[in-house]
Amino acid sequence: MQVDGRSVVRRAALALAAAGALVVVAAPGASAGDPRIVGGTPTSIDDFPATVIFNVNGAQHCAGTLVAKNKVLTAAHCTDGVEASQMQIIGGQTKFSDTSGEKAGVSDVWQNPDFDMNGMQHDNAVLTLDKELPYEPATLVQSADDPAYQAGAEVTVVGWGTTSEGGDVSDQLLKVSVPVVDNNTCAEKYSTGGSKYDKASMFCAGVPEGGKDSCQGDSGGPAYVGGKLAGIVSWGQGCARKDFPGVYTNVGNDYSVISSHLG
């Protein structure tokens, strides 16, 4: 999916080089080195225990949120074209390089059937793990009419993505808070290009001057409002650009279908 010729899905992959250094590996449609949480501050997994690492073939691919002891909610663009046998979920790590987290395989993948990589609508998927994880699952927003989506509501985004557009990935879990932007403004900003803003299945958040945002490597990760999971990191025009807020999956809009896959 592209806007003005630039890939803007926020998926990325990392691989461990033989020497043990982290090396950026471009995800499909992404340029190597594209960013993560921009303008954020360090945080701890203890403050966001439901946040998990989503690896594919042993390399960082996306993030996700534990929404039941054996279920992870992530972005459909993170699961598209990937087999369950290639996936691994890791919970309980503040630092990506840590090895103390609890690991689980994925036994089943449900990808929202209304998702389209070209349009990015309904960008959500549920992973069923092969074991339960010992962390507190997140509580989901249950309606698109929830106050969480009102303009000005504070959204907290968490991830291990890069810290600037074209920058390096973060080993430390980071967070950033940005306000919800009203739907009409979001639709106006993203009215042209390869993907257009959908008022039903998306919401956007950011500051007009830019400088704070999610980015590559943060895809699939959580966007909390009032302590509840309101969104999933999805896409945007570059990262933290002026007048281009980040776009998130509206969890409340798809709550009914998502919850039916949580067991």
255 φ/ψ angles, rounded to the nearest 5 degrees: -55, -45
Residues labelled as active-site residues: 77, 123, 219
**CA quadruple 53, 54, 58, 60: dihedral positive or negative?**
negative
Taking the C-alpha atoms of residue 138 and residue 126, their distance in angstroms, rounded to an integer, is 14
- Assigned token pair, 154: 């504070």
Taking the C-alpha atoms of residue 177 and residue 226, their distance in angstroms, rounded to an integer, is 12
Taking the C-alpha atoms of residue 229 and residue 224, their distance in angstroms, rounded to an integer, is 5
Do β-strands 6-7 and 13-16 pair in parallel, antiparallel, or remain unpaired? unpaired
Other CB atoms within 10 Å distance of the CB of residue 230: 27
Is residue 110 within 8 Å of 125, Cβ to Cβ? yes
Taking the C-alpha atoms of residue 173 and residue 159, their distance in angstroms, rounded to an integer, is 6
